[in-house]
Structure 1
């Protein structure tokens, strides 16, 4: 399957953007008062949002890699 250079760049940018956003979210989650019970254990709020963060990191990585591979494949064809 071939994807256009514009689509490849969009996917790559989306992957990078996803990492920037979710790193910030993970830091904020860790520092949140709602994330930790008084005894120091994680709350359900923390667990749910940690799973969401990990899934988003994985999907952002996959999308970014697809974009990177598309950009690289396009540059080899046009050279």
Structure 2
């Protein structure tokens, strides 16, 4: 399947955006008072949101890689 340059660029930007947003979220999550019990152990709030962040990092990476590969393939095809 071939992707247009526009679709590839969208996927690449989405992958980068996902990383920027979730890094910010993870920093805020770790600094939140709701993330830690008084004894210093993580709360279920932290565990659930950390899992969401990890899944989003993985999906953002996959989507970004697909966009990058599509962009390179479209560029290579246009040079022929």
TM-score range for the pair, normalised by the shorter chain length: over 0.9
TM-score for both structures, normalised by structure 2:
0.97
- The match for 1:8 is 8
Aligned-residue CA RMSD in angstroms?
0.4
How far 1:25 moved relative to its partner?
0.1
- The match for 2:47 is 47
- The match for 2:65 is 65
- Consecutive aligned runs of 4 or more in structure 1 exceeding 2 Å deviation: none
Size of the alignment, in residue pairs? 79
TM-score for both structures, normalised by structure 1:
0.99
Per-residue CA deviation, residues 25-78 of structure 1 (Å, 9 max, x unaligned), is 000000000000000000000000000000000000000000000000011111
Unpaired segments ≥5 residues, structure 2 = none
- The match for 1:28 is 28
Unpaired segments ≥5 residues, structure 1 = none
